[in-house]
Structure 1
Amino acid sequence: MNSELQRESQKKWIRFLVPALLLAAAGFAYMAYQPDSLPDSIARGNGRLEAQEIDVATKLPGRVEEVLVEEGEMVKAGQVLARINVDDLQAELRQAQATLRQVQESAKYAEAVVDQYESELSFAEKELTRSTQLSQKGHVSAEKLDLDKTSKLRAEAALKAARIKVVEAQAAIEAAQAAIERLHANIAESELKAPIDARVLYRLAEPGEVLGSGGKVLALLDLTDVYMTIFLPTYQAGVLSVGADARVVVDALPDLRIPARVSYVAPRAQFTPKQVETQTEREKLMFRVKVKIDPDLLKAHQEKVKTGVTGVAFVKLEDAADWPDDLQVRLQ
């Protein structure tokens, strides 16, 4: 009986001790890279590294033919990442090309008809001129003169109609050519390419899936736009300037001091209580601040950039303030 009580007591002690040790370890890890004290001219906040996400989507509906990259893979701008099946587009293209050939033949025929009616009109004009001259001398009857006038009018009307047919045929040619150009463009866009150098974050679609227009195939991370979002109280955010110098320290690399800049300060506070009555409550107003890491530095170390890593960002509230020795830039 006593041994059972003793074992139960030990279990309770272990259940208490393990969380306590974990909390102590976490606290030690956090304090390992925190400066002993910060001047009033420097503020800090906790956050995690994030990067701008870019969706790679299909412009037109269709079936995913293949996805050529894996999650975590680095890709270059212009690299083909995936392809959408274009069998239907190829069939439409062949039909459009056949239509173009047909309307081109129609245009040739219409132009030949114009040539024919131009000849007939020229002949009718000559006949009318001759009949008019002979009529003045009394050698041609009025009926013959009227007949030649009618022939000329008919030739003019026929020529006008033939010329309209030529214009219509040319318009049909232009429409067919535009359809072919559009189909070529759509076929080219079936190859989904990386807009920038980036890392593949997610494969959102797999071969065989049918997507609608705008369907997302991949999500990329722009590793030249990496930032940490922190929250500062009103008295600090109110004097913080966009462009202010900053430092980022991540948990995974606590010895490094990464240079950064403040790229955004929210115009409105968050976490605002419904009733703000006391000064203590007003201090709960927090402003979102985005601290962006130097893009040139990121480009030089793209393979090492990891998003989702937690850490701390330090920002200067006064431009003239000096960084403490423990927050001087350190990249090794």
Structure 2
Amino acid sequence: MMKKPNRWLFRIGAVMVAAAVLYALWQFLQPEGLPDGLASGNGRIEAVEIDVATKTAGRIEDILVNEGDFITAGQILARMDTEVLQAQLKQAEAQKQQAVVSIETARHQVVQRQAERQAATSLVAQREAERDAAQKQFARSEELASRGTTSQQVLDTDRAKFESANAAVSAAQAQVAAADAAIATAEAQVINAQAAVDAAAATIESIQANIRDSTLRSPRDGRVQFRVAQPGEVLGAGGRVLNMVDLSDVYMTFFLPTESAGRVRIGSEVRLVLDAVPQYVIPAKASFVADVAQFTPKTVETASERQKLMFRVKAQIPPELLKKYIRDVKTGLPGVAYVRIEEGMEWPSSLQNLVPWQNQ
């Protein structure tokens, strides 16, 4: 009858020992408290996202990359159909050729109008000579009439010839003025034709630029995140084809309270620990500290911390490190950022296992 109490005592003792072991293990696994010269905040790895979009409306002819592909700056990612643009280019080239011909025609018109002016100028000289002769004849007749040696009819005839010669000179001078106006008009036509050639050339350059832009290239080294559209789809101007991330511009955004954020300097050393690889510590530097407080996003902090006003801090990962591990870089990974807010503060041993870089 005494065996049952002993069995219960044994079980209670085993439970107490197990609880003590679990508590000791929990205490052992708890992270060390941070020294006063360090601050920390939760965040996620982010990178600059770039939309590869069309410049003009058109149909997607082909997409040459898939989601997850690594791409380099200048690499062709997609091609847009350029059949309409090629037709517009031919039309613009024909218009330019037509304008070039118009220049030659207008120049010939200038030469012709200059010849007409020269002829009009010669006619003026001829009419002036005729007027001078008529004037002299009229003067002699007038003198003879005063002596009574010639008739009044002869005097009237010579007067009419003189006045007619004056009118002929005025008409010839008017022809010279008309020739000057015609020359100015012809020269204006040359200028207009040249402007038409320049306009056609500009149109050709614009269409050629659109044709070049119809070949979509990667602006930077990075990775394709997702394809927004598919070959055969028709997009408007600015329509997105691909979304990529710039793997040379990767950072973690985290939030600090006022007392910590106020002590963070641009360039302060930051160390990142990701949940996926907690055994490695990633070096970074504080590249941005918000000057306005905000409530922290739900995706970053706990519910109690969201009730506080925090300052957003951005920790930039060195491009050299990213280049060395470019195929291991993944955005969206959660982790913790530790920032040194006191110069000369020694990093805890748990934050000294930096990933090797800089030829280490």
Alignment TM-score, normalising by the size of structure 1: 0.82
Summarize deviations over 1:97-135 as a string: whole Å, max 9, x none.
111111211221111111111111112112212332443
Counterpart of 2:321 (choices 284, 292, 297) is: 297
Deviation of 1:283 after TM superposition, in Å, equals 7.8
Residue in structure 1 matched with residue 134 of structure 2 by the alignment: 138
Separation in 1 of the partners of 2:99 and 2:203? 13
Pair 1:185-2:209 in alignment:
yes
Amino acid at match of 1:242: I
Residue in structure 1 matched with residue 352 of structure 2 by the alignment: 328
Residue in structure 1 matched with residue 289 of structure 2 by the alignment: 265
Amino acid at match of 1:212: G
Write the mapping of 1:16-27 to structure 2, written as runs, cut at 5 A: none
Counterpart of 1:37 (choices 20, 33, 39) is: 33
Residue in structure 2 matched with residue 106 of structure 1 by the alignment: 102
Separation in 1 of the partners of 2:166 and 2:119? 19
Describe the SS at the equivalent of 1:267: coil
Q: Does the 8 Å CA contact 2:225/2:243 hold for their aligned counterparts?
A: yes
- Gap regions ≥5 residues in structure 2: 1-21, 136-161, 297-303
Separation in 1 of the partners of 2:171 and 2:341? 100
Describe the SS at the equivalent of 1:135: helix
Amino acid at match of 2:71: V
Which 4+ runs in 1 deviate beyond 6 A?
A: 280-283
Q: Does the 8 Å CA contact 1:56/1:219 hold for their aligned counterparts?
A: yes
Describe the SS at the equivalent of 1:259: strand
Separation in 2 of the partners of 1:302 and 1:232? 29
Write the mapping of 1:49-68 to structure 2, written as runs, cut at 5 A: 49-68=45-64
Q: Does the 8 Å CA contact 2:120/2:179 hold for their aligned counterparts?
A: yes
Counterpart of 1:75 (choices 71, 78, 98) is: 71
Structure holding more strand per residue = 1
Counterpart of 1:48 (choices 44, 48, 63) is: 44
Separation in 1 of the partners of 2:306 and 2:88? 65
More displaced 10-residue stretch of structure 1: 132-141 or 53-62: 132-141
More displaced 10-residue stretch of structure 1: 86-95 or 139-148: 139-148
Q: Does the 8 Å CA contact 1:234/1:283 hold for their aligned counterparts?
A: no
Write the mapping of 1:80-91 to structure 2, written as runs, cut at 5 A: 80-91=76-87
Residue in structure 1 matched with residue 227 of structure 2 by the alignment: 203
Pair 1:314-2:335 in alignment:
no
Q: Does the 8 Å CA contact 2:295/2:307 hold for their aligned counterparts?
A: no
Amino acid at match of 1:192: L
Amino acid at match of 2:293: A
Separation in 2 of the partners of 1:242 and 1:290? 10
Summarize deviations over 1:12-35 as a string: whole Å, max 9, x none.
xxxxxxxxxxxx9xx98xx97x75
Q: Name the larger-Rg structure.
A: 2
Separation in 1 of the partners of 2:33 and 2:58? 59
Q: Does the 8 Å CA contact 2:274/2:335 hold for their aligned counterparts?
A: yes
Residue in structure 2 matched with residue 123 of structure 1 by the alignment: 119
Separation in 1 of the partners of 2:212 and 2:121? 55
More displaced 10-residue stretch of structure 1: 143-152 or 44-53: 143-152
Amino acid at match of 2:268: A
Deviation of 1:252 after TM superposition, in Å, equals 2.0
Separation in 1 of the partners of 2:341 and 2:307? 18
Summarize deviations over 1:59-109 as a string: whole Å, max 9, x none.
111111111111111111111111111111111111111111112112211
Summarize deviations over 1:189-237 as a string: whole Å, max 9, x none.
1111111111111111111111111111111111111111222222222
Separation in 2 of the partners of 1:188 and 1:235? 53
Separation in 1 of the partners of 2:306 and 2:32? 28
Q: Does the 8 Å CA contact 2:49/2:246 hold for their aligned counterparts?
A: yes
Q: Does the 8 Å CA contact 2:295/2:306 hold for their aligned counterparts?
A: no
Describe the SS at the equivalent of 2:209: helix
Amino acid at match of 2:172: D
Pair 1:176-2:200 in alignment:
yes
Percent of aligned pairs with the same residue? 46
Superposition RMSD in Å: 2.5
Q: Does the 8 Å CA contact 1:259/1:329 hold for their aligned counterparts?
A: no
Amino acid at match of 1:124: A
Summarize deviations over 1:247-285 as a string: whole Å, max 9, x none.
01112222211110112222222238xxxxxxx999822
- How many residues were matched structurally? 297
- Gap regions ≥5 residues in structure 1: 1-23, 273-279
Separation in 2 of the partners of 1:148 and 1:233? 96
Describe the SS at the equivalent of 2:278: strand
Describe the SS at the equivalent of 1:220: strand
